[in-house]
Amino acid sequence: MTEDALARQLRALGVREGGVLLVHTSFRAVRPVEGGPLGLVRALRRALGPAGTLVMPTMTDGAAPFDPRTTPTHGMGITAELFWRLPGVLRSGHPGGSFAAEGPHAEAICAPQPLSPPHGPDSPVGRVHDLGGQVLLLGVGHSESTTLHLAEALAAVPYSVSHPTVVVEDGVPRTVMIAETDHCCRGFAAADAWLRARGQQREGKVGAADARLLSARDAVAAAVERLARDPLVFLCAPGAGCEECDVARASVPAPSRRGGWRRGRSSPVR
């Protein structure tokens, strides 16, 4: 598959020229591509045009001090790992939940953010949403999408799990607990049905991969609506044998006597 053919497929799928595009991808699903993962990056840039902004997750495990100029990504795939190292690409500074961006909105998307939640309204994902950006899932599903974590933050879901993360303050590294809406994320796959029912998800092939294209606002709106009815809709059922979702369920505070939710056990750390 040539860069040109890939770019045409991306435009046919609905990638907006001049838009903001957040891409989650597994290159293994897309290949073979002329030029490898960098060929895919060039095809994405070509589909977006010079006025477009390309964004990818470059998360790290938080086990060592984070330096956006040197720390490799963790589990984000070869495309994102090569993308953030390219000249002209910016990378945000969150010690666990960083993103890389290139284009007119890159600086705004990568601006400093609170440590918790990593994917809340004031985060790269929140800014892609506010800018009316699109989300491209290329060879991966909604379970790999950070945009639904933004919906969880906006809906103030009652579960929260904290992970130790090294932060550097005044040159001194120390470990803090960062609270996030963590679970196995398999439940995010439900977004396929919600968006298809509303005609808000474009699907097709890009290279050899199954691709999904949606607007971040549509996905967040659909999820927030479901979460208002069932705040635990994304968690595996109790007794389903999912350890991560069991931990998330156990973090839900008991209803207080006044009928509301008590403060979570794990308060955000800033």
Residues of this chain that interact with Zn ion (CB under 5 A) are 184, 236, 242, 245
Helix axes 147-154, 216-229, angle to 10 degrees: 40
Residue with smaller CB distance to Zn ion, 99 or 234? 234
Q: DSSP E strands: which ranges in 97-255?
A: 99-102, 134-138, 161-169, 172-180, 201-206, 209-215
Rounded Cα distance between 167 and 112, Å, is 14
CB of 170 to Zn ion, least distance (A): 39
Rounded Cα distance between 75 and 80, Å, is 10
Contacts of 79 (CB under 8 A, 6+ apart): 23, 25, 27, 37, 40, 41, 56
CB of 243 to Zn ion, least distance (A): 8
Tokens of 103: 């284009």
Residue with smaller CB distance to Zn ion, 31 or 249? 249
Half-sphere exposure (Cβ direction) of 68: Cα atoms closer than 13 Å: 18
CB of 125 to Zn ion, least distance (A): 21
Residue with smaller CB distance to Zn ion, 59 or 236? 236
Residue with smaller CB distance to Zn ion, 10 or 235? 235
CB of 237 to Zn ion, least distance (A): 9
CB of 86 to Zn ion, least distance (A): 35
Q: Three-state SS for 206?
A: strand
Residue with smaller CB distance to Zn ion, 197 or 240? 240
Pairing of strands 134-138, 20-25: parallel
CB of 262 to Zn ion, least distance (A): 24
Residue with smaller CB distance to Zn ion, 184 or 222? 184
Give the residue carrying structure tokens 């998360």. Answer: 59
